[in-house]
Amino acid sequence: MEKERYLNDLKDIKEMMSRSSRFISLSGLSGISVGLIALAGAWAAWQSVYSNLDLTGYGKAQLSDGSLTQLLVIAGATLLLSVAFGIYFTTRETQKRNQKIWDQQTRRLLTNLAIPLLTGGILCLMLLLEGFAGLMPGLTLIFYGLALVHTSKYTIDELRSLGVLEIALGLVAIQFMPLGLLFWALGFGLLQIVYGIVIPKRYKS
């Protein structure tokens, strides 16, 4: 019994250390870069599409084929750049710490992250093709927040708090739809940058 208890304690300590180091590598420069890319994407979306839309209600917006194409290109570029920079900084940090970048924990994290993100992405694309562009900022925030909450058990508790904040911003963005892109920029941009700066310092201290 005593030996089993010690082994369980060692397992818990190892798991906590793994969670902390994994989150730091994911949330440092990668979080900051993703936040900056999101801000640039929000600005591009506003300049090219959203500034000309009437989003006073929950109905369909008058979105031309050209505007739809622009929005999809901006969204795709923002996503690809975010993933690319996230992978780059995560790989660099992981190698610096002499850790494996692909292990059982990583597979679990990515699997649980992908389910709500893919579900939300498909739903948003379906609604966008039907002209409901005003719902996009809020819905993407909500599904991203759900993904963070869902995967927080593989990282640290603060990630759950970030997810809850993203969900709250998403709900507010849908309630105040004309300002939806602003709340999107706050969630995907500012919050990501703040967490990317504050949380690693906290766990390295």
Q: Which of 134, 136, 26 is nearest to 78 (CA)?
A: 136
Domain positions in the chain = 2-204
CB within 8 Å of 88: residues ≥ 6 apart: 30
Q: How far is CA 156 from CA 14, 94, 146, 149, 200, in A?
A: 14, 17, 15, 10, 11
What is the pLDDT, as a whole number, of residue 4? Answer: 61
* Confidence (pTM): 0.80
- What's the CA gap between 132 and 16, in Å, rounded? 43
pLDDT of residue 56: 66
Q: Kindly give the confidence (pLDDT) of every residue in the chain, 205 residues in length, as a single tens digit, with 9 standing for 90 and above.
A: 555 655 555 555 455 445 444 454 455 778 889 899 999 999 999 988 888 777 766 666 777 788 888 888 999 999 899 888 877 877 777 777 676 666 677 777 778 888 999 999 999 999 888 888 888 999 999 999 999 898 887 777 778 899 999 999 999 999 998 888 999 999 999 999 998 888 777 766 5
Residue 168 confidence (pLDDT)? 96
